[in-house]
Structure formats: C-alpha cells, structure tokens
Chain A
Amino acid sequence: EAAVTQSPRSKVAVTGGKVTLSCHQTNNHDYMYWYRQDTGHGLRLIHYSYVADSTEKGDIPDGYKASRPSQENFSLILELASLSQTAVYFCASSAGGERLFFGHGTKLSVL
C-alpha cells in the first residue's frame, strides 16, 4: 500500500506567522499535491508538482507557496498565515494518470 506521511498532524498558528506543512512519500511517485478541505466541503487543489524543483499552481494558490526539493518531499508554506487559512490540509501522491493516495491530513488552526 502506498505511503504518504504528513507532518505535523495538527498545528495552531498565530495570524501573520509562518507555517510550513511537510509531506513525504515513499511510493516513487512523480506527482504530489496539496489540497485544502474546509468543514463540510470537498477538496480544493492548492499546488501540485510533477517533478523535483518545480511546482505548479492549482485552483486556489493565493496565500500559499510550495516547494519540491526532491521526488519524495513536498512542502506547503504559508508565509503570513491568516484566519481564512484555518482548514484541514491533505497531501497526496500519484504516478500520474493512476490512483491517488492521501496522507492523514494536517489540521491547521490560525488564531
């Protein structure tokens, strides 16, 4: 079974602070994704990457940066966290055109 590990599992941040969410996959997948899920809603794509050292904007990239330093690792960075960024964040990986596998999610609360 594919393995995607996110850290931290939960985080409380202050408004205006910097937050980094990390994701590590051991699936040898080229594609990695960051999604956001708000209570009672579906998933929205923030950033994705299909190769190391390159990232692509998703559907809601504003206020977020991403970094893919290696095939295995993909980070999501909130330079200036805001209240509206309180949500659950999911990282996922796939081989591209194949099954998508998710991490357990990171619950972020911005106060």
Chain B
Amino acid sequence: GDQVEQSPSALSLHEGTGSALRCNFTTTMRAVQWFQQNSRGSLINLFYLASGTKENGRLKSTFNSKESYSTLHIRDAQLEDSGTYFCAAENVGDNSKLIWGLGTSLVVNP
C-alpha cells in the first residue's frame, strides 16, 4: 500500500547546529504535514504544505509532489527541539486520512 518512509530514524545534534529530516513517498501525495511530539507527549502541528516551501523561525519545510518527498530543516537547534518528528501525507483523491511516517527521534545536546 501507500507508504511514507521517514529518515533518519534517530538523530543527535549539538545546540546551535542543524540538520534535515526527510520523508519519501511511494506514490503521489497531495499535501504533507509535519508534527513535533514534544517531551510531554503533545503533538504539535508545525507545517501544512500542498507545495513549495514554508518557513517558521528556525524551521523550514519543503514539499515536492512531483519527486515525492518532503524535508524539514532545523537550524540553530535548541534543547526544546528535542522530541520525535513525524510527517504525514494526504493521498491524491482522499483527504480524509493521512499516511504517517514512523518518526525521527531527535535529541539536542548541550
């Protein structure tokens, strides 16, 4: 079935550095969302993209539907960025359900 492959599965960063998380899709997706699950377990919606790039503070996300991938860039990482990051995509023609990646566990160290 349709899948979302998320990488890396785990990532460790030092404060002030940055990295990119990626989701690859096995089929054409209409839109993608990125979520952070923080240390309290809450799921926070970071971005919704139907195309192109969005930026919010130290986070930037890109969605390329034609090439079937999305990225989330984190720059100047802070301790509070630690948590698990999930991407979830909408299949073309069915916006009622999302297809979820398995997450990237991010640890930011002092």
Contacts and interface: CB of A to CB of B under 8 A. Distances in A.
Interface string A3-35: 000000000000000000000000000010000
Given A88-B41, A99-B45, A104-B42, A43 B97 contact: no
Contact of B48 (A43, A56, A98): A98
B42 A102 contact: yes
A27 to B, nearest CB: 12
Interface string A23-59: 0000000010000000001111100101000001010
B21 interface: no
Interface string B1-32: 00000000000000000000000000000110
A20 to B, nearest CB: 21
Contacts of B40: 104
Nearest to B42: A104
A42 B101 contact: yes
Contacts of A83: none
A96 interface: yes
Contacts of B95: 96-97
Interface of A: 31, 41-45, 48, 50, 56, 58, 88, 90, 92, 96-102, 104-105
Interface of B: 30-31, 33, 35, 40-45, 48, 86, 88, 90, 95-98, 100-103
20 contacts: A42-B86, A45-B97, A45-B98, A48-B96, A48-B97, A58-B97, A90-B43, A92-B43, A96-B95, A97-B30, A97-B90, A98-B48, A100-B88, A100-B98, A102-B43, A102-B44, A102-B45, A104-B41, A105-B41, A105-B42
